Amino acid sequence: MPRPRFKQRCALCKKNMVVMYTSRQFPICVECHMKRISDPVTDPKYKEMFNIPRDFYEKSMFLRNIKESFQRFGSLTENQVTAFKKAVDDLKNPKKKKEDQETESPETTTK
């Protein structure tokens, strides 16, 4: 059963509303979050990984959180790196809905 969602004001700017999924989530709007992660990445190992379009960061809170973690701690775990890459791949190549796949497949007729 899906959890109820509610709106709360951004904790930083106090003007934008944020859709909250859990009470443990920190209420931060996309604009404020993008300001926090706007610092350039200098580590050559991670520089290429974080060099993705800004739209991806705006769409995905998960990607923003991973980049913020890197900026706070200076490194990421292997699981964080693989999950980040998988999320970017999913945004680059969105999966078609099951309904779309069914309508595109050729219909077979039996005689």
How far is residue 35's CA from residue 17's CA, in Å, rounded to a whole number?
A: 16
pLDDT on residue 32: 92
- For residue 58, is pLDDT > 70? yes
How far is residue 17's CA from residue 8's CA, in Å, rounded to a whole number?
A: 5
Q: Are 34 and 59 in contact (CB under 8 A)?
A: no
pLDDT on residue 21: 83
pLDDT band at 106 (very low <50, low <70, confident <90, very high): low
Tell me which of 21 and 104 has the higher pLDDT.
21
pLDDT on residue 80: 93
- Mean confidence (pLDDT) of the chain: 85
Over range 56-62, report the average pLDDT.
Answer: 92
Tell me which of 103 and 53 has the higher pLDDT.
53
- For residue 83, is pLDDT > 60? yes
- For residue 101, is pLDDT > 90? no
